């Protein structure tokens, strides 16, 4: 998932809810494409000096989040989950191809609320 705004990106609401796909470890959660470590119920803020891009990527549609996870092979799929988030400082959205087309959203802050089961 892309964490950079594109020239074609559209503005989104400044606050709202969405879904983030994260790799599950015994005590932490990680992004599938970065080395970032996240914890539940803690506000996570973007730090541009540590990471490339414009913000955190997430999805607004739960069905698409589960479809994204199902596109992983069996070995990886078992280690990933879909988590509901509350985001702040929403920046934009754009179409992203990853085996299928989906809307990718970007924000500067989020808090993991809970894991969502299919």
Domain-embedded: residue 9:
no
- Per-residue DSSP letters for 12-46? --SSEEEEEEEEE-SS-EE-SSS--EE-BTSEEE-
Q: Is residue 62 part of a domain?
A: yes
Q: Would residue 99 be called left, alpha or beta, if left means φ above 0 and alpha means ψ between -120 and 50 degrees? A: left
Q: Is residue 22 part of a domain?
A: yes
Which CATH number do you get for residue 45? 3.20.170
Q: Is residue 29 part of a domain?
A: yes
Show the domain range for 62.
16-116
Higher pLDDT pick, 26 / 59: 59
What lies within 8 Å, CB to CB, of 80 at 6+ separation is 21, 22, 23, 24, 32, 69, 72
pTM (2 d.p.): 0.85
Residue 77 lies in a domain: yes
Residue 12 above 70 pLDDT? Answer: yes
């Amino acid at each position: 998932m892309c964490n950079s705004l594109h020239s074609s990106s559209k503005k989104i609401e400044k606050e709202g809810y969405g879904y983030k796909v994260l790799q599950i470890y015994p005590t932490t959660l990680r992004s599938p494409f970065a080395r970032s470590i996240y914890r539940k119920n803690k506000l996570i803020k973007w730090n541009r000096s540590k990471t490339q891009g414009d913000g955190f990527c997430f999805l607004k549609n739960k069905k698409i989040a589960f479809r994204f996870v199902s596109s992983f092979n069996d070995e990886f799929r078992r280690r990933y989950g879909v988590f509901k988030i509350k985001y702040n400082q929403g920046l934009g959205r754009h179409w992203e191809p990853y085996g299928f087309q989906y809307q990718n959203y970007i924000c500067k802050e989020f808090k993991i609320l809970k894991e969502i089961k299919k």
